[in-house]
Amino acid sequence: MPEVASFHPQFVVDHQGHRTSVLLSIEEYETLLEDLSDLAAVAERRDEPVSDHGDVVLKLKADGLL
Protein backbone atom coordinates (compact mmCIF):
# COMPACT_ATOMS: atom_id res chain seq x y z
CA MET A 1 0.00 0.00 0.00
CA PRO A 2 1.59 3.28 -1.04
CA GLU A 3 2.00 6.06 1.47
CA VAL A 4 -0.64 8.77 1.21
CA ALA A 5 2.22 11.27 1.27
CA SER A 6 3.26 9.98 -2.17
CA PHE A 7 -0.07 11.11 -3.68
CA HIS A 8 -0.34 14.49 -5.34
CA PRO A 9 -3.96 15.60 -4.96
CA GLN A 10 -5.26 18.84 -6.36
CA PHE A 11 -8.26 20.46 -4.75
CA VAL A 12 -11.23 22.25 -6.27
CA VAL A 13 -12.44 25.08 -4.07
CA ASP A 14 -15.64 27.10 -4.02
CA HIS A 15 -15.82 30.89 -4.12
CA GLN A 16 -15.16 31.00 -0.35
CA GLY A 17 -12.03 28.87 -0.66
CA HIS A 18 -13.58 25.73 0.88
CA ARG A 19 -12.42 22.47 -0.62
CA THR A 20 -15.27 20.82 -2.52
CA SER A 21 -13.57 18.14 -4.61
CA VAL A 22 -10.25 16.44 -5.10
CA LEU A 23 -8.41 15.51 -8.28
CA LEU A 24 -6.07 12.52 -8.38
CA SER A 25 -4.07 10.95 -11.16
CA ILE A 26 -5.64 7.84 -12.66
CA GLU A 27 -2.84 5.78 -11.12
CA GLU A 28 -3.50 7.16 -7.63
CA TYR A 29 -7.25 6.70 -8.05
CA GLU A 30 -6.85 3.07 -9.19
CA THR A 31 -4.49 2.39 -6.28
CA LEU A 32 -7.10 3.68 -3.84
CA LEU A 33 -9.80 1.54 -5.49
CA GLU A 34 -7.60 -1.57 -5.19
CA ASP A 35 -6.95 -0.82 -1.52
CA LEU A 36 -10.67 -0.31 -0.92
CA SER A 37 -11.44 -3.62 -2.62
CA ASP A 38 -8.83 -5.40 -0.49
CA LEU A 39 -10.25 -3.91 2.70
CA ALA A 40 -13.78 -4.93 1.70
CA ALA A 41 -12.60 -8.52 1.14
CA VAL A 42 -10.94 -8.58 4.56
CA ALA A 43 -14.12 -7.24 6.19
CA GLU A 44 -16.29 -9.83 4.43
CA ARG A 45 -14.06 -12.69 5.57
CA ARG A 46 -13.51 -11.45 9.11
CA ASP A 47 -15.73 -14.12 10.70
CA GLU A 48 -14.52 -17.07 8.61
CA PRO A 49 -12.73 -19.84 10.47
CA VAL A 50 -8.95 -19.81 10.26
CA SER A 51 -6.61 -22.74 9.65
CA ASP A 52 -3.13 -23.32 10.96
CA HIS A 53 -0.48 -23.09 8.22
CA GLY A 54 0.87 -26.53 9.12
CA ASP A 55 -2.60 -28.08 8.81
CA VAL A 56 -3.07 -26.52 5.40
CA VAL A 57 0.28 -27.87 4.20
CA LEU A 58 -0.57 -31.35 5.47
CA LYS A 59 -3.95 -31.30 3.72
CA LEU A 60 -2.44 -30.10 0.45
CA LYS A 61 0.18 -32.87 0.64
CA ALA A 62 -2.51 -35.46 1.42
CA ASP A 63 -4.50 -34.26 -1.60
CA GLY A 64 -1.39 -34.50 -3.79
CA LEU A 65 -1.30 -30.76 -4.42
CA LEU A 66 2.11 -30.26 -2.80
DSSP 15-61: TTS-EEEEE--HHHHHHHHHHHHHHHHHHHTTTS----HHHHHHHHH
The pLDDT of residue 2 is 62
What confidence tens digit (pLDDT) does each residue in 19-34 have?
Answer: 999 999 999 999 999 9
Q: How many CB atoms lie within 10 A of CB 24?
A: 14
User: What residues of the chain score a pLDDT lower than 50?
Assistant: none
All residues at 6 or more sequence positions from 22 whose CB lies less than 8 Å from its CB, including other chains: 9, 10, 11, 12
* pTM recorded for the entire structure: 0.62
pLDDT of residue 42: 95
